[in-house]
Amino acid sequence: MRLDLRPIGYVIGILLTLLGVAMLVPMAVDFSEGRGYVGVFAESALITILTGSFLAIACSNGKAEGLDIQKTILLTTGVWIALPLFGSIPFIIGSTQLSFVDALFEAVSGVTTTGSTVLSGLESLPKGILLWRGILQWLGGIGIIVVAMVFLPELRVGGMQIFRAEAFDTMGKILPRATTISLQIFVIYLGITIACALSYVAVGLTAFDAIVHSFTTVSTGGFSNYDKSFGNFSGPAEYVAIFFMIMAALPFVRYVQLVNGNSRAIFTDTQIKTFLISTLSIAIFVFFVLNSLFPGDWENSLRKSLFNITSIISGTGYSSDNYMKWGGMLVSVIFFIGLIGGCAGSTTCSVKVFRYQLVASAILLQLRKIRYPHRVVVLKYDGRPVAEDVLHSVMTFFVMFFLSLGVLAILLSLTGLDLITSVSGAVAALGNIGPGLGDRIGPSSNFMGLNDAAKWLLIIGMLVGRLELMAVYILFTRKFWRN
């Protein structure tokens, strides 16, 4: 039986058309700025809209077909490849005039909400390009929420099936049901973004900076309009960013339940409690160490601690200070918290809190079995029994994540990068965190100086990490392609 790709092509075509329409917004900004870059987004929009429209029309007779597991996986990975490809066009023909690999790196980093950049001199770039970077991250943020709530629970990727009941039972009706769910998410996501932008304006940011940074805050993406990232802004803006980065790191399904009258769920979610307590505890520890290293301004130390820890643990990747100067111990803390991530069903990335909770519970359960071998103990999560396939999926994810991390770090080192750059670069890409460590890709640098081979490896790492690994790896198995 031949694989029918028409439903996949139809959805990708629709999304490409919408991406092309989105390009008209930075085009209008460039027009108002009057620097002569209007044609960049006009050409990019025309290419993208025509390609998307033709693809959607050509595949429209297959849109009624259902999406089985095989097609859903192909759709998920196909979207995250197609959008960056076309999203990179403005970087190639625009004022940045990046090479294909650099333009694709920037676009992939945007859509996957990683936040690593190859651009410098951001303050001198046209506003249209800066806005486009923010739009890519904003779209990627809402895109991954939909994927996490609609697709991944059905695909049983990395234990996400534990949220299947909360993320709605959609398989077999995935296209019409996803539209309904996505609309609710979009309204909430847009509302949080508007609130974030208004808050930034209230603390002194210009309207343009407020809009772009609200896009990259709520998406936990981390692109900024300045080479110094958030170091360009003073204290109050950092507190606003902390609040909205935390909001974006919480499960959006809880917001959906909240607006539908279930206010209890968001306050009883064990994943939310663990994330908030962990973030606050680590930030307080860093504050005390930082205040002892640089005494005299406790408020500044507290603000820098809260901001940078929240930024890294959520995978946003903003930096308000060069934390490479904080000493080896705190740099190590920052490195490891990037492997935590936020909550499942949020815009955040990396391993995510619920997986650590399940592994910790499984270890404690095993210790109890050793002590009391005849006692029947059931593994539970958030008060519910955990099926064996969920725990197996989580364990598989952990093994594959850290194995992938090691392989990517080794491959990066083979391109000529030093150990710190290779390991932190692998973590930054696979965990979709943004900045790495060291002088080359640390918080005060960017990824432009890396060789093309390293950039290609990082592009692959960003895509694989954003799609929770297994949704990509399964494409390389023979059984997947058997009907």
Contact 126, 37 (CB under 8 A): yes
Torsional class of 432: left (φ above 0), alpha (ψ -120 to 50), beta (otherwise): left
Q: Does residue 159 register a pLDDT over 80?
A: no
pLDDT at position 149 is 73
Give phi and psi for 107, each to the nearest 5.
Answer: -70, -40
What are 200's two structure tokens?
């930034």
Which stretch of 74-78, 158-162, 361-365, 450-454 has the lowest confidence by average pLDDT?
Answer: 158-162
Q: Taking the mean position of all CA atoms in its chain, how far away is CA 39?
A: 30
Q: pLDDT band at residue 261, thresholds of 50, 70 and 90?
A: confident
Q: What is the mean pLDDT of residues 428-443?
A: 92
Instruction: Count the Cβ atoms, other than its own, within 10 Å of residue 344.
Output: 25
Tokens 């390991």 belong to 423
The DSSP-derived string for 4-64 is: --HHHHHHHHHHHHHHHHHTHHHHHHHHHHTSS-HHHHHHHHHHHHHHHHHHHHHTGGGTT
Q: What is the mean pLDDT of residues 264-270?
A: 86
Residue 394 lies in a domain: yes
Q: pLDDT band at residue 173, thresholds of 50, 70 and 90?
A: very low
pLDDT at position 378 is 80
Contact 145, 189 (CB under 8 A): yes
pLDDT at position 166 is 54
Burial of 226: CB neighbours in 10 Å, binned 0-12, 13-18, 19+: middle
Q: Does residue 168 register a pLDDT over 60?
A: no
Contact 347, 357 (CB under 8 A): no
Q: Please tell me the number of Cα atoms within 13 Å of 109 on its side-chain side.
A: 32
Residue 452 lies in a domain: yes
More confident residue, 118 or 385: 118
Contact 23, 44 (CB under 8 A): yes
Task: Give the Cα separation of 279 and 205 in Å (integer).
Answer: 26
Q: What is the mean pLDDT of residues 35-62?
A: 91
Residue 449 lies in a domain: yes
Give phi and psi for 380, each to the nearest 5.
Answer: -125, 150
More confident residue, 213 or 6: 213
Strand ranges (E), 61-114? none
pLDDT at position 156 is 66
- Mark 162-191 as b/e (b = at least 16 C-beta within 10 Å): bbbebbbebbeebbeebeebbebbeebbee
Q: What is the mean pLDDT of residues 449-476?
A: 93
Classify the C-alpha dihedral 148-154-155-161 as positive or negative. Answer: positive
- For the chain, percent of residues with pLDDT exceeding 90: 62
Q: What is the mean pLDDT of residues 182-205?
A: 94
pLDDT at position 247 is 96
Q: Does residue 479 register a pLDDT over 50?
A: yes
Residue 103 lies in a domain: no
Contact 40, 90 (CB under 8 A): yes
Q: What is the pLDDT of residues 273-309, one digit of tens each?
A: 999 999 999 999 999 999 888 887 899 999 999 999 9
Of 87, 90, 142, give the one whose Cα is nearest residue 113: 142
416 contacts: CB under 8 Å, gap ≥ 6: 451, 454
Task: Give the Cα separation of 111 and 138 in Å (integer).
Answer: 8
Q: pLDDT band at residue 264, thresholds of 50, 70 and 90?
A: confident
Residue 156 lies in a domain: no
Compute the mean pLDDT over every residue in the chain, rounded to the nearest whole number.
89
What are 280's two structure tokens?
């606050």
What are 212's two structure tokens?
């772009």
Count of structural domains, the chain: 1
Q: What is the pLDDT of residues 81-131, one digit of tens each?
A: 999 999 999 999 987 889 999 999 999 999 999 999 999 999 999 999 999
Q: Does residue 164 register a pLDDT over 70?
A: no
Q: Please tell me the number of Cα atoms within 13 Å of 337 on its side-chain side.
A: 27
Q: Does residue 170 register a pLDDT over 50?
A: no
Cα 451 to Cα 108, 455, 456: the distances in Å are 17, 6, 9
pLDDT at position 369 is 83
Q: Which helix (H) or strand (E) covers residue 385, if one does? A: strand 384-385
Residue 424 lies in a domain: yes
Q: Does residue 174 register a pLDDT over 50?
A: no
Give me the residues paired with residue 384 across strands: 381
Residue 430 belongs to domain spanning: 388-481
Which amino acid appears at position 28 of this protein? Answer: A
Q: What is the mean pLDDT of residues 246-264?
A: 88
Residue 192 lies in a domain: no
Give me the residues paired with residue 385 across strands: 380
Give, rounded to a whole angstrom, the gap between the first and last alpha carbons of the chain: 6
Q: What is the mean pLDDT of residues 429-439?
A: 91
Q: Does residue 389 register a pLDDT over 60?
A: yes
This prediction's pTM: 0.92
Contact 284, 255 (CB under 8 A): no
Q: Does residue 64 register a pLDDT over 80?
A: no
Q: Does residue 483 register a pLDDT over 70?
A: no
pLDDT at position 158 is 65
Contact 222, 428 (CB under 8 A): no
